[in-house]
Amino acid sequence: MKEELLSRAECNALRGLAIAGIFLHNYAHWLGPIVKENEYQFFQRNVDWFNQVLIHPDANLLLHLLSFFGHYGVPVFLFLSAYGLVKKYERVMSSMPVAHENVSVRERGTGTFRFLRYHFLKLFKMMIVGFVAFTMVDAITPGRWHYDVLKIVAQLGMFNNLLPTPDRQIWPGPYWFFGLMLQLYIVYRLLLYRRHWGVTVALMVLCIVLQLCLSPESEALNRYRYNFMGGMLPFGMGLLAARYERYVLSWRGPGSQVQWDACLFVVSLVLVYLMSLGFVTWTFVPVMVCASCIGLVKLLTDAASSRFVRSCSWGLEWLGSISAALFVCHPITRKIFIPISRQGDTYTGLLLYVIASLCLAWVFMQLMKRIPNPSMK
């Protein structure tokens, strides 16, 4: 039996799915008539609005779906990040043919300070290119943001998630993710690295219980979910999936893999919608999102004999390969093209945004390659 839950190609395809959801969501939810998501808080009125749209669909149905569900690309990224950390730092080289990253024994045994310094610089390398470009575009386009010293320093230090009312502190909005990832790296290295599975599960349960104690529409919940506690569920899932992937693979059973993967995809996808309808079940939607995405990429692998499926797989893998650059540059193109959609040419603005974002992401990727990589030494 294959011992890896996810191959390199499948990880890239998952990144492609995740970034597609994120960068399309971040455009759609800026449009006034489009349904708003429940990302950091749970608003029943948003659920009711979405259900009305499903009952009475209009020409903007695609945008409604992207706005309401697209942000769930973030949990997929968190799952993959945790999965990759275990592959990189916790497996003994002699027993793990890692296809994901080539790392030395010395890097695996690196100290806490060097680990955190390395990952801070990796995040900073990504963030600074986009942040500098965005601030220049923001200064010459309508709706200019008012920066102050604290907001700038907090973004550069990636601790703006910790500030009060983070909605008003972080600009561009998607860059909250850098602070989230930095926190999760710290939590992983200090609390979860090579620890018993019970420690990971206990932290996941604690974060979920605390979240359920908060009011669904409160600012307290909003601030809570901006930080690592809100992402601990999918991150913990990624750690456990990588550590115990043989057991996960055994659940697929002895029958047709296509049937198992199709069942996982369809059932999880249905549960994503059903669990989004109530506050308690909404907390666990990231589990179903990760499961459905894994089921989908497994189906693409199963059906690789089809030319159409191979083309879809290649497209997702390519998108995954530029996902970091696309993430940092899409706020720039959104700021430029969103007025076109707001003035009535909804899909014209969206199409220009997609084309420009993909092209700019390629440019940013070339630029980021020229910045020296941080060292573990």
> Tokens representing 169?
């502190």
Binned at pLDDT 50, 70 and 90, residue 88 comes out as: very high
Cβ contacts of 3 within 8 Å, gap of 6 or more: 245, 246, 249
Domain range enclosing 315: 8-369
Classify residue 377: in a domain, yes or no: no
Structure confidence at residue 377 (pLDDT): 72
Q: What are phi and psi of 253, to 5 degrees?
A: 80, 175
The closest of 41, 72, 38, 36 to 53, measured between CA atoms, is 36
Classify residue 187: in a domain, yes or no: yes
Structure confidence at residue 27 (pLDDT): 98
What percent of the chain is helix, strand and coil (3-state, nearest 5)?
Answer: 75, 0, 25
Q: Is the pLDDT of residue 316 over 90?
A: yes
Cβ contacts of 276 within 8 Å, gap of 6 or more: 38, 47, 68, 69, 282, 285
**Amino acid occupying residue 91:** R
d(CA 152, CA 323): 24
Question: Please, what is the angle between helix 285-302 and helix 228-243, to 10°?
Answer: 40
Mean pLDDT of 168-173: 96
**Amino acid occupying residue 269:** L
Structure confidence at residue 249 (pLDDT): 82
Report the domain count for the chain: 1
Classify residue 243: in a domain, yes or no: yes
d(CA 323, CA 19): 6
Q: Max Cα separation, the chain?
A: 60
Q: Is the pLDDT of residue 154 over 80?
A: yes
Length of the chain: 377
d(CA 238, CA 87): 10
Classify residue 3: in a domain, yes or no: no
Mean pLDDT of 289-298: 96
Q: Is the pLDDT of residue 26 over 70?
A: yes
Q: What are phi and psi of 343, to 5 degrees?
A: -90, 5
d(CA 24, CA 376): 35
Classify residue 83: in a domain, yes or no: yes
Mean pLDDT of 23-48: 97
Structure confidence at residue 102 (pLDDT): 44
As a whole number, the mean pLDDT across the chain is: 92
Name the DSSP class of 372.
P
Mean pLDDT of 238-260: 83
| Element of type H or E holding 356 | helix 346-369
Classify residue 376: in a domain, yes or no: no
Distances (CA, A) of 224 to 147, 227, 231: 23, 6, 10
Q: Is the pLDDT of residue 284 over 50?
A: yes
Q: Is the pLDDT of residue 126 over 90?
A: yes
Structure confidence at residue 98 (pLDDT): 41
